[in-house]
C-alpha cells in the first residue's frame, strides 16, 4: 500500500514536470513515505529522516516532506519538534492533500509533464488502489488507527486508473486494499470489479492484494475457475496456526476454516500458489500454539511466507510482548527454516510443468503463480509466453520458451 502511495506521489510530481532521481545531491525535494506497521519500520523511518539533516544544511532551499503512517501516528508537531528542518508532514489519512499542499511549495517546473516510470515494480506491473483504510479490528494491528476505516473507491475511479496504467504500457494490474476482497461500492462487489477490470483492453494478468479469508464467496471461486487472466497466486495472510491465538487476534476464522478455504480455492484453480504472513510471539503464545503454526506451513503448502516477530503497537498492558526476545528469535528462526524447506518443495513441484510467464526482460519474468522464471533467451518484455520448466535454482525456476 505504501509502495502504491509512493508511486502516486511520484506521479503527482511528474505531472508538474519533476523527475525522480537516485542522486540525492540533485534533488529539489525528498519525500520520506513512512511505515509504522511494526516498531522496526517506524525506527527506520525516523533514522532516515535524521539522515536528511546534513542534506538540508547543504541545500537550505531543498524541501523535506514526511508522509505516511508513521507521520500519522507521531503527528506533525512531534516530528517537526524532533527534526526542525522538516518542511511539511502529511499523515496517511490525508495523503490525497499531498499534491496541492506540498508540490505547490516547490512551484511549477519548467519541464512540463515527464515520462512515467515505476519505482518498485517492472514497467509491466502497476498498482491500482481500490480501497483505503481498514474496518477490521485485528488486536495487534495499527493500520485502522493510522489509515482510518475502509473506504472503497468507485468502480469508475478504479477502472479509469487501471486503464490509464495499461495505456501507459502496464500489462499486469495489482488491485490493492487491506481487505481487498471485501470491496463493495453500491451494487458492485469484488468479483464484479474483477470482471470489469479483466475486460480492460491490454490487460494480460490481474492480481490483487491482500484478500482476507472471511470475504471469499462462491462468485469469486467461480470467477477464479473460469478466468485464466486472474493470477494463479494469492497472498492470503493467516497470521497463526493456533485457533486460540487466532481468536485473541480477532481474525474471524479458525485454522480449519482457513484450510477449508484453501481447499475450495485450489478446487477452483488446482495450480494456485498461496503465500502468507505469520506473526510469532503474540502475547501468551505457548509452545503448543507455536507448534500449530509450524505445522501449518506444510499443511498450507505455502509457496512463500513472510514471518514477523510480534511488535506491540499500543501501550495497552495486555498487548505488551510476553515472550522474551531470545525466545521470539528462536521461534522465528524455526519458522523461517520450515518456510524455506517447504517453499523449496512447492517450487520443485513446478519443475517439468508449463508456466505462463509475463516477461520483464528477455531472460526473466514471473509466472502466473508469482514464481520467478529465467530462460536463456527469447523473452519479449511485456509478453506472456509458455515456458517449460526444467529446474530450479535458489527461488527461481528455469526453462525454455515453448
Q: State which residue, 251 or 366, has the beta carbon closest to ligand SF4.
A: 251
Told to check if 237 binds ligand SAH by CB under 6 A, we report: yes
Which CB, 37 or 387, lies closer to ligand SAH?
Answer: 37
179 vs 189, beta carbon nearer ligand SAH: 179
Q: Which of 277, 298, 299, 327 binds ligand SAH (CB under 6 A)?
A: 277
Binding mask 62-101 for ligand SF4 (x = CB under 6 A): ----------------------------------------
x/- map, 199-218, ligand SF4, by CB under 6 A: -------------x------
Q: Which of 36, 122, 179, 275 binds ligand SF4 (CB under 6 A)?
A: 179
Q: Name which of 143 and 248 has its Cβ closer to ligand SF4.
A: 143
Nearest approach, Cβ of residue 180 and ligand SF4 (Å): 10
Asked if 208 is part of the footprint of ligand SAH (rule: CB under 6 A), the reply reads no
Q: How far is the CB of 309 from ligand SAH (least distance, A)?
A: 6
Within 288-317, the residues that bind ligand SAH by CB under 6 A are: 308, 310-311, 313
Q: What is the 3-state secondary structure (H, E, C) of the chain?
A: CHHHHHHHHHHHHHHCCCCCCCCHHHCCEEEEEECCCCHHHHHHHHHHHHHHHHHHHHCCCCEEEEEEHHHHHHCHHHHHHHCCCCCEEEEHHHHHHHHHHHHHHHCCCCCCCCCCCCCCCCCCEEEEECEECCCCCCCCCCHHHHHCCCEECCHHHHHHHHHHHHHCCCCEEEEECCCHHHCEECCEEHHHHHHHHHCCCCCCEEEEECCCHHHCCHHHHHHHHHCCCECCEEECCCECCCHHHHHHHCCCCCHHHHHHHHHHHHHHCCCCEEEEEEEECCCCCCHHHHHHHHHHHHHCCCCEEEEEECCCCCCCHHHCCCCCHHHHHHHHHHHHHHHHHHHHHHHHCCCCCEEEEEECCCCEEEECCCCEEEECCCCCCCCEEEEEEEEEECCEEEEEEC
Question: Which residues of the shown chain bind ligand SAH in the complex (CB under 6 A)?
Answer: 37-38, 140-141, 143, 178-179, 210, 212, 237, 239, 277, 279, 308, 310-311, 313
Amino acid at each position: 500500500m505504501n509502495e502504491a502511495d509512493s508511486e502516486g506521489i511520484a506521479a503527482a510530481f511528474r505531472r508538474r514536470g519533476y523527475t525522480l532521481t537516485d542522486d540525492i545531491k540533485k534533488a529539489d525535494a525528498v519525500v520520506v513515505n513512512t511505515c509504522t506497521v511494526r516498531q522496526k519500520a517506524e525506527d527506520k523511518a525516523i533514522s532516515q529522516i535524521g539522515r536528511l539533516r546534513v542534506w538540508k544544511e547543504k541545500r537550505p532551499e531543498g524541501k523535506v516532506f514526511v508522509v505516511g503512517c508513521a507521520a500519522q501516528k507521531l503527528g506533525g508537531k512531534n516530528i517537526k519538534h524532533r527534526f526542525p528542518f522538516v518542511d511539511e508532514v502529511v499523515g496517511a489519512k490525508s495523503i490525497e492533500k499531498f499534491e496541492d499542499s506540498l508540490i505547490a511549495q516547490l512551484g511549477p517546473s519548467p519541464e512540463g509533464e515527464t515520462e512515467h516510470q515505476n519505482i518498485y515494480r517492472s514497467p509491466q506491473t502497476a498498482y491500482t488502489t481500490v480501497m483505503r483504510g481498514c474496518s477490521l479490528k485485528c488486536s495487534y494491528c495499527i493500520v485502522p488507527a493510522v489509515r482510518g476505516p475502509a473506504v472503497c473507491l468507485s468502480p469508475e475511479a478504479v477502472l479509469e486508473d487501471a486503464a490509464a496504467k495499461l495505456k501507459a504500457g502496464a500489462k499486469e494490474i495489482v488491485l490493492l486494499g487491506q481487505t481487498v476482497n471485501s470491496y463493495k461500492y453500491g451494487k458492485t462487489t469484488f468479483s464484479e470489479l474483477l470482471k470489469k477490470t479483466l475486460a480492460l483492453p491490454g490487460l494480460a494478468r490481474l492480481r490483487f492484494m491482500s484478500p482476507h479469508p472471511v470475504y471469499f464467496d462462491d462468485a469469486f471461486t467461480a470467477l477464479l475457475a473460469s478466468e485464466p487472466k486472474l493470477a494463479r497466486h494469492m497472498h492470503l495472510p493467516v497470521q497463526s496456526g493456533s485457533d486460540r491465538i487466532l481468536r485473541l487476534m480477532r481474525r474471524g476464522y479458525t485454522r480449519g476454516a482457513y484450510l477449508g478455504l484453501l481447499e475450495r480455492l485450489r478446487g477452483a484453480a488446482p495450480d494456485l500458489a498461496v503465500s502468507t504472513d505469520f506473526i510469532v510471539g503474540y502475547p501468551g503464545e505457548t509452545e503448543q500454539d507455536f507448534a500449530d503454526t509450524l505445522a501449518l506451513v506444510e499443511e498450507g503448502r505455502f509457496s512463500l511466507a513472510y514471518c514477523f516477530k510480534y511488535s506491540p503497537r499500543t501501550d495497552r498492558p495486555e498487548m505488551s510482548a510476553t515472550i522474551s526476545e531470545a525466545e521470539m528469535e528462536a521461534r522465528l528462526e524455526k519458522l523461517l527454516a520450515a518456510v524455506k524447506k517447504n517453499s523449496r518443495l512447492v517450487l520443485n513441484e513446478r519443475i517439468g510443468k508449463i508456466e505462463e510467464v509475463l516477461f520483464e526482460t528477455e531472460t526473466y519474468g514471473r509466472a502466473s503463480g508469482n514464481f520467478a522464471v529465467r530462460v536463456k533467451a527469447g523473452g519479449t518484455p511485456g509478453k506472456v509466453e509458455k515456458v517449460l520448466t526444467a529446474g530450479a535454482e535458489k527461488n527461481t525456476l528455469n526453462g525454455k520458451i515453448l
